[in-house]
Amino acid sequence: MEKDEYDKYVLAGNIAAKVREESRSYVNVGTPLLEIARKIEDSIKKLGGMPAFPVNLSLNDEAAHYTPVPADDRKISEDDVIKVDIGVHVDGFIGDTACTISFSEKHNAIVKAAEDALEKAVPLCVPGKAVDEISGIIEDTIKSHGFKPVANLTGHGLRQWEGHAEPTIHNVRVNYQYVLKEDDVIAVEPFATDGAGRIKDSGPSVIFSLVGKKPVRSREARKMLGDIEAFNGMPFTERWLGSSFGTRLALRDLRRSGILYEYPVLKEVSKGTVTQAEHTVIVRKTPVVTTDLKSFAD
């Protein structure tokens, strides 16, 4: 890995970590999700990065892929468990991190299950380590806390402008033959649940990415397509494009044309609560955890 590439991965991860930790002070009961999303994404830009995807603010049985829409009126309640999943890029080099915030002690154990699984997995991210071993540690740790790992959600590799690449970091043991190599960049993200241990697509998609280009009929859709191309294939959401009736119609036209990939909201199949913890790691003899500020403390 070239030094410039390394430095950008580290900067993106550090920005993501700072924003994640800052968010803990304003993710509070009664706060609108839309306000939280705007604060997080504005902070990313102020620190010199750009969002690698719309911040995911998934509540309770929602595991991933919920981000506020324009005029969203959802607010946090005292019984909620919220996953704050933040992606930052610097010239396409990505830092991806997440934490779970709860407001009741009854959720402490399930939050800790995901956090402990991440803590035990990260030191294993070294050259020559079989990914299956990491998956096994994640599974065993979550089960030791009395919960289930979410079997069909995974961590993933990161590449420039690509938020999901090889290798896949499963949260349960599978027959997956991949051995980590030096300078692989991976996002390790355990998910724990008190439910059945699986997720399903649920509800309309609010996050999208561009997968190709086709002629589109309306002038508004053509203009929107130009705006979307500026994201370089990375995920986006409607509120990044505007909140007018025309925006909604243009987005509808692009969805119907088949040139957008849609990310449905993912929910636990038995409505179980889901928690998440995530770090980005550069695979080296001593793993470089770009989203752990303690790794770079003076």
The catalytic residues are 85, 96, 156, 164, 189, 278
Nearest in space to 93 (alpha carbons), one of 183, 179, 23, 20: 183
Side chain identity at 182, as an amino acid letter?
E
Distance CA 283, CA 266 (A): 29
Distance CA 279, CA 171 (A): 14
**Distances, alpha carbon 12 to alpha carbons 94, 111, 293, in Å:** 6, 25, 12
For the chain, how far is it from start to end, CA to CA, in angstroms?
24
In the chain, beta strands by DSSP E? 50-51, 56-59, 62-64, 81-90, 93-102, 148-149, 154-159, 162-170, 185-188, 191-193, 199-201, 207-210, 236-237, 260-263, 266-268, 274-276, 279-282, 288-289
178 and 129 Cβ atoms separated by less than 8 Å: no
Give the three-state DSSP class for 6.
helix
Query: Would you give the DSSP letter of residue 75?
Result: B
**Distances, alpha carbon 244 to alpha carbons 5, 139, 250, in Å:** 39, 45, 10
Distance CA 274, CA 149 (A): 9
